[in-house]
Structure 1
């Protein structure tokens, strides 16, 4: 497919070509990405756990690939950070009702369909707890790192607030945003006593959201509870933070 769709008339096909040109894509890529976004949206609405595999396969096929995301591999691969993460012994650990209560509370308090305690490893994102994200099977509890938005909150060591990532000059290029899985995101880094961010407590929605100061405060308080559970008293989102790894957008 290079010029249009057989079910479109000439005017519609002209508009299709123009829309694709506006975002720097050919028609085939533009249509494939639109179909992928609809598939992701339908599976999300149905709470179908295969949405994660769909996103992973779309990323592997490069349907959602787009240059423009900042490289935070140095911060994510920092040896001190990784040692702090592995010391927690939470990677690949079974579900824990304490964390599940916190993610349920986060989703309820912010009226968000999805919430998670996400741990960011060097090549993957593992969900210690997840609300509204499948049936809790092993496959549902991790994603490839390239599908992680949380890695950017971890790399910055600071809250990440996206009200409509589709319009953000940086995050509109992220695969899960391009795929339609995430439009609004609010994530709080989980930081140990030495300033190492190992993951986040986050909420997200496939629709845009206006996050208020109250939302940020509530999620920050809940993230502090997660941090105290992991690291002991005095850790959480208010510990010493590493230098920002993401240029301002």
Structure 2
């Protein structure tokens, strides 16, 4: 943990240190990933949302400074979100700071993470996405390529607690393995990644 005095009330940032971030950024650059929206990855996120019944699904590549959702599924009608003091509501876009969300934890841990209700876990309940977007449940798995590099994650989130259980864990892990295989097949064939 580290202390950031610029955050309101000296909020503790609980995002783990990511020593592989520079190497990951280089690998993502080699693959042509990490900064371009890809319609095929959007379609993959759509399939993942349908498979899990989650309103949000992402293919997320994490570099040194940010998370980039190269694949993103948003609900047609967004669930109610928290209204800020100035009357605005946050909008989920293609980028998110590294200290927001749960994917950076998955990347550093190198294993899947199931949070059926993030509020049950003090470490995760204080994450900015809980307050800003109303996120209440998360299911994510790392995208680990054959070099052993964690490229990012596939994940689904909901604004309601979800009993993901073992079936959810198995689904997200197999989805991550399938996507890595597709990415590497394209690389081996010398084609654009997707």
What TM-score range do you get, normalising by the shorter chain? 0.7 to 0.9
- Corresponding residue number in structure 2 for 1:16: none
CA distance in 1, matches of 2:9, 2:113: 22
Secondary structure of the corresponding residue to residue 224 of structure 1: helix
Instruction: Name the CA distance, whole Å, in 2 between partners of 1:63 and 1:109.
Output: 38
Q: Paired residue for 1:96? A: 39
Taking the aligned partners of 1:221 and 1:189, their CA distance within structure 2 comes to 11
Q: Superposed, which structure 2 residues align to 1:173-188 within 5 Å?
A: 173-188=126-141
Structure 2 distance, partners of 1:83, 1:92, is 12
Gap change, CA 1:101 and 1:87, over 3 Å in 2: same
1:147-179 Cα distance to aligned partner (Å, 9 max, x none): 232111011110011111112031112111233
**How many residue pairs were aligned?**
166
- Deviation, 1:120, is 0.3
Of 5, 14, 28 in structure 2, the residue corresponding to residue 85 of structure 1 is: 28
- Residue 88 of structure 2 corresponds to which residue in structure 1? none
Q: 8 Å contact 1:65–1:175 — kept in the other structure?
A: no
Query: Which structure has greater strand proportion?
Result: 2
1:73-222 alignment runs, 5 A limit:
73-75=18-20, 77=21, 79-97=22-40, 99-132=41-74, 140-222=93-175
Q: Does 2:16 align with 1:71?
A: yes
Pairwise mapping of residues 9-24 of structure 1 onto structure 2 (< 5 A)?
none
Q: Please identify which structure carries the higher helix content.
A: 1
In structure 1, the gaps of 5 or more residues are: 1-60, 234-249
Separation in 2, partners of 1:221, 1:155: 19
* Greater Cα radius of gyration, structure 1 or 2: 1
Deviation at 1:220, TM superposition (A): 1.9
Distance 1:150-1:65 versus aligned 2 partners, 3 A rule: farther
Match of residue 179 from structure 2: 226
Residues in 2 aligned to 1:64 and 1:222: alpha-carbon distance in whole angstroms: 39
